[in-house]
Amino acid sequence: MKYTKLHVIKVGGNVINDATMLLPLLEAFSKLSGYKILVHGGGSKASEVAQRMSVPVEMVEGRRITNDQMIEVVTMVYGGLINKQMVTQLQAMGCDALGLTGADANLILSQKRPVKSGIDYGWVGDPIQIDVKKLRLLLDIGLVPVLAPLTHDGRGHILNTNADTIANMIAVSMSSSFEVHLLYAFELPGVMRELSDPNSLIKVLDRTYYQKLKSKGIVSQGMIPKLDNAFQAIAHGVRRVCITKFDNIHLLASNDEYTTIS
């Protein structure tokens, strides 16, 4: 059986915060042909809005907690402002975008993260179920889902959820009926041996090489969970995982300036 290709693109905070990167990303995304899903992170706007609204930032052991006021702020900023601005811009580019959270159409059900080692993260959720059939129905009527990093618990609560985790879980879940290509779009051409050296792009990264880079401290702190996710996706049926520059996502077939996880 030959599966249809589906691109799942994850775009993170740094690109979202900067219109000079976000617009080229959206243009590249709108040019990508075939079935596609965009998953976006939060960016710094939520902190800015929280500060302007004098919402107190609650931290426990150096980690931000999503308290009652903060879940309202991220629901506004992620589910409203960022998501709807992206949808509106994609529509202007001729891409039939549909903005969603995991609560919409019950697409992503999460479990509120349990209190562990005395840390209560508040309204944070870890996805437990993706409605693959419903996502497929939306794709089949020609829509392009644009997902905000919010899910729900099925009991009336919105939950703040990591966008990498959402992208990964969608990619893995959709592999049962699509040939899934998962792309992480960010500000660099891919994984670099040295951030300052554009010639140090790692074009193919396998587990052995990754372990070596990690043990030498070459892969940075923020990249480690992303790459762990990437290897896990490959192990669970995703055809290809690439880490690439935001304005490059529609050119992967004709270009070799990106990192493929294998």
- Residue 96 contacts its own copies per CB under 8 A: yes
138: enclosing H helix or E strand? helix 132-140
**What residues numbered 190-229 form the site for its own copies, per CB under 8 A?**
none
DSSP state of 119: B
CA distance 119 to 24: 39
Q: Say how far apart CA 87 and CA 127 lie, in whole Å.
A: 23
Minimum CB separation of residue 166 from its own copies in Å reads: 15
Pick the closer one to its own copies by CB: 140 or 256.
Answer: 140
Q: Is 20 in the site for its own copies (CB under 8 A)?
A: no
Q: Are 56 and 66 in contact (CB under 8 A)?
A: no
Q: Which is nearer to its own copies, 52 or 216 (CB)?
A: 52
- Cα distances from 235 to residues 30, 100, 107, 123, 222, in angstroms, run 29, 27, 23, 30, 21
Smallest distance from its own copies to CB 158, Å = 5
The 8-class DSSP code of residue 181 comes to: E
Among 114, 118, 156, 222, binds its own copies (CB under 8 A): 156
Binding mask 125-154 for its own copies (x = CB under 8 A): ---------x--xx--x-x------x-x-x
Query: What's the closest the beta carbon of residue 5 comes to its own copies, in angstroms?
Result: 22
- Cβ contact 38:89 at 8 Å: no
Distance of closest approach, residue 6 Cβ to its own copies, in angstroms: 18
Angle at 127 between CA 124 and CA 129, to 5 degrees: 150
Binding site for its own copies (CB under 8 A): 49, 52-54, 72, 75-81, 83-85, 87-89, 91-92, 96-101, 103-106, 134, 137-138, 141, 143, 150, 152, 154-158
